[in-house]
Amino acid sequence: MSDSMKIGHLYPIRTAPLQLEKAARGQQGKTPSSTEFRDLLESQVLKFSHHAEMRMEQRGIKLQPESLNQIMRAVDDAASKGAKDSLIVFKDIAMIVNVPTRTVVTAMDGKQMQSNVFTQIDSAIILS
C-alpha cells in the first residue's frame, strides 16, 4: 500500500493522541470527557466533504501526508487571521476550505483551476 492518505480519513495535525490528551486536561489534572476529547481532536484535523471526496477521486488528486500537514498548517494560519472560507493553492491543486469547520468543500487540479472564478471566499493562501 502506498503512503498516500485515503480520502475521507481524518488526519491529526502535529500532535499525537497522547499529547492531545495531555493538552486537553484541565488545570486540576482531570482526564477530559470523551466529548471534550472528540472536540479537541476535531479541531486538529482536516476533513473532506463528500463533494470534495468525489471531485478528488474524479480528478485523480491524491495528497501525501506531508502535503496534508502543509495544508493543515495553512488552515491554522487562516484561522488565526479570522478567515472563514479560504482558497488554498498547493502545487497544481486548488481547494476551497471552510476554515471554522476545517472542511475541504471542493478541490480541483490545474486544468480546472485555470478556467475558474473563485467566489465566496475571504482569503487565499498560496503554498509552494
Question: What does the pLDDT average to over 30-50?
Answer: 72
Structural domain includes residue 3? no
Structural domain includes residue 5? no
Three-state DSSP class for residue 75: helix
Q: Would the pLDDT of 128 be above 60?
A: yes
Q: Which pLDDT belongs to residue 20?
A: 41
Cα 108 from chain centroid? 15
Question: What does the pLDDT average to over 104-122?
Answer: 88
The pTM score is 0.68
Burial of residue 96, with CB atoms counted within 10 A of its CB: 0-12 exposed, 13-18 middle, 19 or more buried? buried
Structural domain includes residue 1? no
Quote the cell numbers at residue 24. Answer: 486537553
Q: Would the pLDDT of 42 be above 50?
A: yes
Three-state DSSP class for residue 37: helix
Q: Would the pLDDT of 112 be above 50?
A: yes
Q: Which residues contact 48 (CB under 8 A, 6 or more apart)?
A: 7, 8, 56, 103, 104
DSSP 84: S
Structural domain includes residue 4? no
For residue 126, what pLDDT band results from cuts at 50, 70 and 90? Answer: very high
Phi, psi values for residue 12, rounded to 5°:
-65, 145
Q: What's the chain's Rg over C-alpha atoms?
A: 16
Average pLDDT score over the chain? 78
Q: Would the pLDDT of 105 be above 80?
A: yes
Q: Can you give the residue range of the structural domain that contains 79?
A: 11-127
Number of structural domains found in the chain? 1
Structural domain includes residue 6? no
* More confident of the two residues 101 and 24: 101
